[in-house]
Structure 1
Amino acid sequence: MNVFVIGIGLIGGSFAIDIKAAFDEAVIYGVDQNETHLDQALSLNIIDHKSTIEDISQADIVIVAIPVDATVNILPMILDMIDEDCLVFDVGSTKQKLCVSVEQHDKRRNYLAAHPIAGTEFSGPQAAIANLYRGKTNIICEIEKTAFKLQEKGMEIFSRLGMRIRYMDPASHDKHIAYVSHLSHISSFMLGKTVIEKEKNERDIFDMAGSGFASTVRLAKSSPAMWTPIFKHNKENVIETLEEYITNLNQFKELIENNDYEEIYKEMENTNHIRTILKGIA
């Protein structure tokens, strides 16, 4: 089974590691614009061979793990080049524009729109880890548009990697993910920006930063090359979530200005309910 992974970073590299472990017959080919990434992935035994997009016709499986704006451009090209029995799936954090980009393609049935909800704030081949996807949710969009035998091939991979499957239409996916993922990253980036700007005048501010700050700002270490296209692709939903978030921040600020600490207590107590909602999520 020839598996071509386009984009050998955290996500693509982790898929490569787990597929090699789960399928004895898998041969992993790495495709990446960054030659250093390919050399690192080879030395770390993440991939078996370096390759190029021109060799994609040899693939049985193609995993596209690059920024979503690049995926929109390259996905139709990949479908043009693959064999009829090849499965192509992406791992992008937005789905609607990707699905639209290939909805009229002759080989739309070869494409499976996927979004594994997994990752860390790190990037590059050295960030790839085994079992990243075990126990994680993989959202599949427009499953009915993928050929059944290729659906089965994809589900076999996801099952062996220990993933949970959830089905969703692309528009709903993009709306919901804006709240639970995209807004979290924006909040983290802006908190980091606020503290960095303040630190210019107060050099010891980071000496006072504890684990709470570290965990809240963790996502600010994420790759801008990956996240800027995500915000661009999901612009309308991101703006909507930001407007609601800013409204809540302003209301909280007004409560403090008005010394309404009883209401502040109630606000936080009501929000504590999220502990129940997120119970069991690592």
Structure 2
Amino acid sequence: MDNFGSISKARVAILGMGLMGGSLALALRDHVRELRAADPDLAALELAHQLGLVHRLSVDPSEVLPGSDIVILAAPVHAILELIKLLPDLHPGSPIVLDLGSTKTQICRAMEGLPERFDPIGGHPMCGKETSGLRSAEAVIFKGATFAFSALGRTSQRASGTAYQIARVIGAIPVWIDPEVHDRWVAATSHVPYLLANALSLATPIEAARLVGPGFHSTSRLAASFAPMMLDVLVSNQENIHQALRRFRAELDIIESTLDQEDHAFLEEVLARSTERHAELVVSSQGSVEP
């Protein structure tokens, strides 16, 4: 693939056929020259074969990586870090390397250590589902979703342009962000909400189940996420999560104190400010920045 060639000419290898890797395969398969995939899970590979997702499948990455122009690491954070270590021995060429990890600082640092022939860029599509695995994969999950990209000091215009093309082809909104800033922000927008959903589920008596309504469903929805995957994410971003939790506790303390003091006027003011902030956050979540 030449420097500013269309991804339609690219051979793409996706390492990981879970929810994200499978969804990306579904979204990309009609837009690239060739799609390959590797996954240690034989059941996932069999399903990918049945669905006709890719042109080449293997449990061994070394059988799909050589000759690929774009390598996409679609695995949990710890697995991505291990794959980065193995890439120099698995791929003899000079591919663009894009990851889909939920946190970026550790991954981007590891990518900096790749041999010069690799062209890495960090990525994180801000979408997903509570259910996991290839059976839950859908191309539509990327539609209108933010796709965060973190360029390294060594990232070329070729890699940035390719990342931008991928986002646009799958219907996502590309946003460019420093990896450390990304991890600080997703602690507040993704990781703490997951923990709060878990805490709410655990704090609610089982006897209250008959009175569970839409409010509980929407607020606790993330607690249904695949726990081992989320543990991997949380461990990779602990300090930022600690800071976000402290900010949340401070706000919750204000609300609790206001209730204790029966200061209804101030409580109404707090709730009104919250409504305004929610609207601002939702509106500001849309938009893209050119590479």
- Partner in structure 2 of residue 11 of structure 1: 20
Q: Which amino acid aligns with 1:117?
A: M
One of 154, 158, 170 as aligned partner of 1:145: 154
- Partner in structure 2 of residue 33 of structure 1: 40
1:20: Cα distance to partner? 0.6
> Matches of residues 88-127 of structure 1 in structure 2 within 5 Å?
88-107=97-116, 109-127=118-136
Q: Distance in 2 between matches of 1:35 and 1:148?
A: 37
Q: Which amino acid aligns with 1:154?
A: A
Q: Distance in 1 between matches of 2:180 and 2:67?
A: 33
The DSSP-based 3-state class of the residue aligned with 1:62 is strand
Is the 2:94–2:117 Cα contact (8 Å) retained in structure 1? Answer: no
Q: Distance in 2 between matches of 1:253 and 1:117?
A: 32
Q: Gapped runs of 5+ residues in structure 2?
A: 1-9, 287-291
- Partner in structure 2 of residue 253 of structure 1: 256
Is the 1:109–1:146 Cα contact (8 Å) retained in structure 2? Answer: no
> Matches of residues 194-209 of structure 1 in structure 2 within 5 Å?
194-195=203-204, 198-199=205-206, 202=207, 205-209=208-212
Is the 1:94–1:174 Cα contact (8 Å) retained in structure 2? Answer: yes
Q: Which amino acid aligns with 2:81?
A: V
Is the 1:117–1:136 Cα contact (8 Å) retained in structure 2? Answer: yes
The DSSP-based 3-state class of the residue aligned with 1:113 is strand
Query: How far does the alpha carbon of each residue in 1:203-261 deviate from its partner, in whole angstroms, 9 at most, with x for none?
Result: xx222111111111111111112211111111110000011111222222222222222
The DSSP-based 3-state class of the residue aligned with 1:135 is coil
One of 181, 187, 193 as aligned partner of 1:178: 187
Q: 1:108 to 1:138 in 2, by over 3 A?
A: farther
- Partner in structure 2 of residue 85 of structure 1: 94
The DSSP-based 3-state class of the residue aligned with 1:107 is coil
Q: Which amino acid aligns with 1:32?
A: D
The DSSP-based 3-state class of the residue aligned with 2:124 is strand
1:7: Cα distance to partner? 1.5
1:163: Cα distance to partner? 2.3
Query: How far does the alpha carbon of each residue in 1:189-214 deviate from its partner, in whole angstroms, 9 at most, with x for none?
Result: 2111222xx21xx2xx2221111111
One of 74, 83, 108 as aligned partner of 1:74: 83
Q: Which amino acid aligns with 1:63?
A: I
Q: Distance in 1 between matches of 2:73 and 2:239?
A: 25
Q: Distance in 2 between matches of 1:122 and 1:110?
A: 32
Q: Which amino acid aligns with 1:54?
A: S
- Partner in structure 2 of residue 42 of structure 1: 49
Q: Distance in 2 between matches of 1:169 and 1:139?
A: 9
Compute the TM-score of the two structures, normalised by the length of structure 2. 0.87
- Partner in structure 1 of residue 279 of structure 2: 275
Query: How far does the alpha carbon of each residue in 1:59-104 deviate from its partner, in whole angstroms, 9 at most, with x for none?
Result: 2222111110111121121244224332211111111111112323
RMSD (Å) for aligned C-alpha atoms: 2.0
Is the 1:79–1:107 Cα contact (8 Å) retained in structure 2? Answer: no
Residue 223 (1) aligns with residue 217 (2): no
1:108: Cα distance to partner? 7.0
- Partner in structure 1 of residue 4 of structure 2: none
After TM superposition, the structure 1 stretch with the greater mean CA deviation from structure 2, 127-136 or 169-178, is 127-136
The DSSP-based 3-state class of the residue aligned with 1:5 is strand
Q: Distance in 2 between matches of 1:81 and 1:107?
A: 15
Q: Distance in 2 between matches of 1:276 and 1:111?
A: 33
1:140: Cα distance to partner? 1.3
One of 57, 71, 81 as aligned partner of 2:66: 57
- Partner in structure 2 of residue 243 of structure 1: 246
Q: Identity, % of aligned pairs? A: 25
Q: Distance in 1 between matches of 2:162 and 2:101?
A: 19
Is the 1:84–1:110 Cα contact (8 Å) retained in structure 2? Answer: no
1:170: Cα distance to partner? 1.1
Q: Distance in 2 between matches of 1:166 and 1:116?
A: 10
One of 190, 205, 210 as aligned partner of 2:199: 190
Is the 1:109–1:147 Cα contact (8 Å) retained in structure 2? Answer: no
For this pair of structures, how many residues does the alignment match?
A: 274
Compute the TM-score of the two structures, normalised by the length of structure 1. 0.89
Q: Gapped runs of 5+ residues in structure 1?
A: none
Is the 2:184–2:240 Cα contact (8 Å) retained in structure 1? Answer: yes
Is the 1:59–1:83 Cα contact (8 Å) retained in structure 2? Answer: no
Runs of 4+ aligned residues of structure 1 deviating over 6 Å after TM superposition are none
